[in-house]
Structure formats: C-alpha cells, structure tokens
Structure 1
Amino acid sequence: MSTATDYAQAGELKFGQVGIANLRVRTLDVAQLVTEMRERIQRAPNLFSRAAIVLDFGGLSHPPTHASAQALVDGLRSAGVLPVAVAYGTKEIDALSQQLGLPLLAKFRAQYERSEPSAPAAGLQPATTQAAASPAVATPAPATAGSSAPGLIQTTPVRSGQQVYAEQRDLTVLTTVGAGAEVLADGSIHIYGALRGRALAGAQGNMEARIFCREFHAELVSVAGQYKVLEDIPAELRGKPVQVWLEHGQIKLVAMD
C-alpha cells in the first residue's frame, strides 16, 4: 500500500507591508554617515539599534565604487544597524548590489518619500523644532488630499510587533497602540487611547496629514517623513492629548487640553 506524499510547504512565503528604514545618501562621506547613525542609535536605541536599512544612492550624481559602498556597509554594521538591500534599479546600482551581496529593491521607495520625481527625497528626517507653545495653533484636521477611500478603523489594540497601515486613507484606532507597535497612514491618524508605539502619518508624502492621540507616550511620531522620537519631545506633553502636524516643513506638537 503506497504512502501518500505530503506536499505541505515547510515555509510559507508572503509579501506585505514591511517597516524598513531608507537611508538616502546625499554625500558619500562614510565617516560622517556612520557618526550620524551612531548618534541616532544613542538617542533612540529601542528604535534604531539593529534596524534594517535599505541603502539609497539615488541622491548621488554618480554611483559609489564597490570599495566605498562596502566601507559604508561595514561602518553601518559597526554602528549598530543592518544594511539589508540597495534601492533603485539602474544598471550601475544593480551591478553594485551584486558586488555587495545585497538584494536590489528596484521598486523600493521609502514609505515617507514623495512619489513625484521632482520632490526632494525624504526618508525619515529628524525634526529640529521644539513643541509649539500655544494650543491656539491647533485646528481640526483637513480632509486628506487624494484620499477617496473611507478611513480604516482599527477596533482592537495594536500590540507590540504589529503594524497597521491605512493605504490612501486615514486611520482611526479606537483603543491603544502598544510599545513596539506601529501604525501608518497615507492620511491622518486618530488614536482614541494611549499611543506608546510609533505613528507615521502622511506616509506617501502628504504634508497636510496630522496625528491626534488621547494619551501621548509615543516612541516616534512622523508626518511626511519628518519625525521626532520620545527623547526629543518635551516631558510636559507626555500623557496628554496631543496633536502633531507639519508647519513650513517642520514638525509641531501641541497639547490639546
């Protein structure tokens, strides 16, 4: 009697939304790039330590040599992050990715980068401004430009390690976003509980997007790529209802009570 063959797969491969950082190299100064990365990790180790990084050389006039790119990969690893791929698919970059032994993500574009070719490259950009002082600045969130789909409503808590993404629409979370969790939206984000993880609005470059939360303890907040981590946020905002938005390209935070 023959034995039935088991065709069940040992591993299930799926493609989905992945939280991954894009390092757009503007100046190929390996020492400076490594120093900047070390500083990011020192400021927010829970966010950046051992973070997966895609190297984007699209901001350079000429692709780097294999030696300089390899030096950058080695330096970033020593700093504490993990380069996992190379972005963009020119013939030269393709060859470079093969020399580095890294995959080429030909269609990769950071979630925070605007899709227009003429727009400045974003990636996550640290904001330098302080929290807005006057709550009078706060205004109701405008309608999200280009968002035709109804908003996505998340009714259960977003727990550590989970990610919720509202593509081309707003996101409303009726409960909490736990530490280590991530919520993203191409539009605005409304959180009716505590925000302890990361919230990234305007993920495709919408600078009109905003973040609202009832209890602010965020590890990171970002609007159209401009971001602040918890260590950079004034202590008086923690635990308060907070609104986050961009003004003249700079991130603003204000308590709403």
Structure 2
Amino acid sequence: MKAANQVAATLRLRGTTIPVIALAVRTADPEQLEDELARKVLEADGSLAGGLGVIDLSALTEPPPSLAPLAEMVRRFGMRPVAVLGADEAFGSEADALGLALLPAAGRGMAARNEPDAAPAPIAAPEPVPPPVVPEPLLATAMLLDRPLRSGQRVYARGRDLVLLAGASPGSELIADGNIHCYGPLRGRAMAGASGDTSAHVFALDFQAELVSIAGIYKSFEQLSDEFRGRPVRASLQLEGEQRRIVLSPLGDR
C-alpha cells in the first residue's frame, strides 16, 4: 500500500488554461486559405509562431477539404495543429493518422461563442489526397507584400511569384513556388521554386541573405563576400550533369 501511495504522488491530473489558436475555415479553396493565413501571420508580427492550432470547420458551408493539406499549411506557417473542431466522424481515421484530436460535436460551442453567425453545414466524407506528381502551374498574379518581413515571420506564395517591396529581416523566410523579388534588404532566407521549378530565381536589390534555396538545392551564406553583399544580385540554379548548385551573379548580367 505504501508503494502505491508513492506512485500516486508522482502524478497529478489538473485542468489547464493553455491558449490555443482557432483557425475558423470558411472556404475550401486552398489558395484563398493560404493567402489569408499569410496575411494574418504577417499582421500578427510573430506572435503566432509555435502556437497550438485547432482547425475549426464548423462555419464551413461547402464540402470540407481533406485534413492533410490543411494541417500541413498550418505547420508551414509556424503553428502546431493539435485538433479538428466541427468535423464529421468520417474524418476520424484521417485525423488519427495526422495525430490530430477529433473534437466531438458538443465542442462546437467553443467556436460558436466567437462566431455567433456561423451555422454548421453538412459534412461530406473527405476525398482521398492524390500524391504530388508535377509542380503546379504558376498563377498569373504574384503575391505582393508591402511591409517588411520581420524575424520569425514566414510567407509562402503558393503557385506564384513572391514580390516583397520592403526588406526581410534576419530569421525571416520567403518561400515561393515561382521567383522571389525583394526590393529592400534581403537578410533572411529565400526559397524559390519550392514545388520543384529549377528555372526559378531570387532577385534582390540589396543582397544580404542568410540562405538561398531553389528547387530544394540550398546554399548558406555565413560569410558573404564584398562582391555581393549589399549589391543587386540574381541567384539561380546551375545544372551541370548530375550536379546542381546555387550561383550568384550581379543583377543585369546574362
């Protein structure tokens, strides 16, 4: 009996008030979701980084998307998805596979307090997620950011170019499936051709990047030579047989 008491004393169960971020999904369009989440993360000025996220589908008025791309998108923007709210039990196996808790229907009251006008819609069974085959074609318009990207912030231009009118601080991340254009000081990490486009480029008028990646090939710049530091630079991927490497050249050279 004494041993049992000692074991019991090593564990205590208690309620907590750990904050979570509810991501109320109102559209199944992945491009709209990514654009809106990128804007929200930028406005939050790094305060969302590392936060626990609950994907709330209770306000969705159309068949919901699969959970895998939603969870991956949340992680890509620096948060940690832990649960799904307002989803049908048909999502149970997919949620389990992703390590997400499927909150019961009664839990919808949490979202309703913040979304009084939300009416839960019928939930359709998720369609299977096909594996990626080829990079998606780039969209006609680029994602345009007119404010500096601060340390710890991340932005992803899915299926398009990314244009940053201001600068990027050390510790920030610029990610695009197409090209990256930075008209201010580029001091963070720039990853172009994220979906596999080997022809993508990184253009910077004031190059001070910590790292450049194109189509998954990366090069860090712990010691940047004076030839390129603070100058207009174009970064591209050079292919030589099986060898691939990032090369820098003065912007305007061919």
User: Which of structures 1 and 2 has the bigger CA Rg?
Assistant: 2
- TM-score, normalisation: structure 1: 0.47
